[in-house]
Amino acid sequence: MPTQTVVVGSAVGLHARPAGIIAEAAQGLGSTVTIGLPGQPPVDASSSLMIMTLGAGNGVQVEVTGEDEAAVAAIAALVEQDLDA
């Protein structure tokens, strides 16, 4: 499975607004993508609530994994952006 390790770019981490944007994008991809902290169980990237349970703050590394490499890249790119700007 394709996996990318990326750094959370949002100033507030993966909280409500960034999580909502990521979840909405993941819902439209047509394939399953997960986000997780290294060494911990991943969560479904299409659920903003599950993303927020990670507690991933700004600068924290997360792993984005999925069945489709393009979908993983799309979600990884969003995680790296400051979605609160």
CATH number at residue 7: 3.30.1340.10
pLDDT of res. 72: 98
Distances (CA, A) of 9 to 12, 13, 18, 60: 9, 7, 10, 8
pTM given for the model: 0.95
Q: Is the residue at 63 inside a domain? A: yes
Query: Which whole number is the average pLDDT over 12-24?
Result: 96
Q: Is the residue at 72 inside a domain? A: yes
Q: Is the residue at 38 inside a domain? A: yes
Total number of domains constituting the chain: 1
Query: Which whole number is the average pLDDT over 26-46?
Result: 96
List the domain range (segments joined by +) for residue 41.
3-80
Q: Is the residue at 85 inside a domain? A: no
Query: For all residues of the chain together, what is the average pLDDT?
Result: 96
Query: Which whole number is the average pLDDT over 37-55?
Result: 97
Distance CA 36, CA 49 (A): 13
